[in-house]
């Protein structure tokens, strides 16, 4: 089962590093959008009952969340401000804010049709209500910069998903998740790993090469032009090299008397820079394949007797 928002960020919520909140109007808009994009129709209950005009997706989510929470029923606040048994709609309107985010992620977990359209509309509504939360690839993240979110993080995840690079997608999305919950060291590690995974994916290799070796292979294969070599070397040295796993305190070396941390601004810089590099490499890979196929088609045309 997928680990939803409240459990994934449990420690940050308990320690009040994350304090999600939504206005009633925002909650109402979220509920209406999820309902609109859900599957509706005939639903059969375990006791033999039927609902002829049911929100089938909502019923599936209710069962998923009951299992996830380890509860027989879902609960939300009633008019007397006490927790009471509630439907999924009532959880969205009157539940804890973290429950709202759980519901959103559970909705995408069940993969109804028109996922991307729903994601776009939810993000539009969250922006309209000045909420700092956004959904990327079915997961909720906290956005500090709308521009960087839209131009780097979203583009990176969409490009990795569309070009079937699941390892890098998982690592980069994990980096964003860790950044959201304040796990800055882990965010930097996963961001760096996502770049190496992209390089391996475009080279179609599973071998454990160093960054330098992977870069050499990218240039040899002409996926990356040679004149970009120094740029990427400086990227490794100046941006990610200082925070690679073996150099992070508490990873390959002792921390000394005091626990060392990576500042949120440095971690955000590393994650966004890694995203930009992932976009750069993937787009060059796509372009190199297009050139290959165009050349192959020209050769076929030259060989044709017609």
Q: Which residues contact 91 (CB under 8 A, 6 or more apart)?
A: 65, 74, 75, 76, 99, 100, 103
Mean pLDDT across the chain? 83
pLDDT at 219 > cutoff 90: no
- Asked whether the whole model's pTM tops 0.75, one would answer no
pLDDT at 245 over 50: no
Pick 215 or 249 by higher pLDDT: 215
The pLDDT of residue 272 is 87
The per-residue pLDDT for range 3-40, each reduced to its tens digit, is 999 999 999 899 988 899 999 999 999 999 999 999 99
Q: What's the token pair of residue 278?
A: 């992932």
Q: Which residue has the higher pLDDT, 265 or 11?
A: 11
pLDDT at 192: 84
Residue 234 pLDDT greater than 80, yes or no: no
Give per-residue burial for 123-133: e unless 16+ CB within 10 Å, then b. Answer: bebbeeeebeb
Distance from C-alpha of 165 to C-alpha of 281, rounded to nearest angstrom: 12
pLDDT at 293 over 50: no
Residue range 110-154, pLDDT digits in tens:
988 899 899 999 999 999 999 999 998 899 988 876 666 777 888
Residues of the chain with pLDDT > 90: what percent? 41
Model pLDDT for residues 58-117, shown as the tens digit of each residue = 999 999 999 999 999 999 999 999 999 999 999 999 999 999 999 999 999 998 889 989
Query: Domain extents for the chain?
Result: 1-142, 143-306
Residues ≥6 apart with Cβ < 8 Å to 180: 9, 12, 18, 141, 142
The Cα–Cα gap between 102 and 109 comes to 10
pLDDT value at residue 260 = 53
CB 74 within 8 A of CB 66: yes
Question: Is residue 112 classed as helix, strand or coil in its secondary structure?
Answer: coil
Question: Is pLDDT of 256 > 70?
Answer: no
């Amino acid at each position: 089962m997928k680990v939803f928002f409240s459990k994934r960020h449990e420690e940050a919520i308990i320690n009040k590093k994350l304090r999600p909140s939504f206005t009633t109007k925002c909650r109402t808009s979220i509920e209406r959008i999820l309902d609109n994009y859900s599957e509706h129709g005939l639903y059969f209950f375990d006791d033999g009952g039927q609902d002829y005009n049911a929100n089938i997706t909502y019923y599936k989510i209710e069962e998923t969340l009951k299992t996830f929470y380890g509860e027989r029923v879902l609960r939300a606040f009633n008019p007397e401000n006490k927790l009471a048994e509630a439907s999924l709609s009532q959880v969205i309107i009157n539940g804890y804010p973290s429950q709202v985010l759980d519901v959103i992620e559970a909705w995408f977990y069940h993969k109804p049709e028109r996922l991307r359209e729903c994601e776009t509309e939810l993000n539009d509504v969250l922006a309209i209500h000045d909420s700092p939360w956004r959904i990327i690839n079915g997961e909720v993240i906290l956005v500090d910069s709308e521009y960087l979110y839209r131009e780097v993080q979203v583009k990176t995840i969409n490009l990795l998903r569309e070009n079937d690079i699941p390892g890098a997608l998982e690592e980069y999305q994990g980096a964003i998740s860790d950044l959201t919950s304040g796990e800055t060291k882990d965010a930097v590690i996963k961001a760096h790993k996502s770049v190496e995974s992209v390089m391996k994916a475009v080279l179609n290799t599973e071998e454990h090469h160093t960054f330098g070796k992977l870069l050499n292979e990218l240039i040899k294969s002409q996926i990356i032009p040679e004149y970009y070599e120094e740029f990427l070397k400086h990227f490794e040295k100046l941006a990610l090299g200082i925070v690679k796993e073996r150099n992070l305190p508490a990873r390959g070396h002792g921390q000394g008397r005091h626990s060392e941390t990576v500042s949120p601004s440095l971690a955000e810089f590393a994650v966004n820079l890694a995203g930009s590099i992932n976009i750069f490499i993937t787009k060059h890979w796509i372009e190199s394949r297009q050139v290959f196929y165009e050349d192959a088609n020209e050769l076929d045309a030259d060989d044709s007797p017609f």
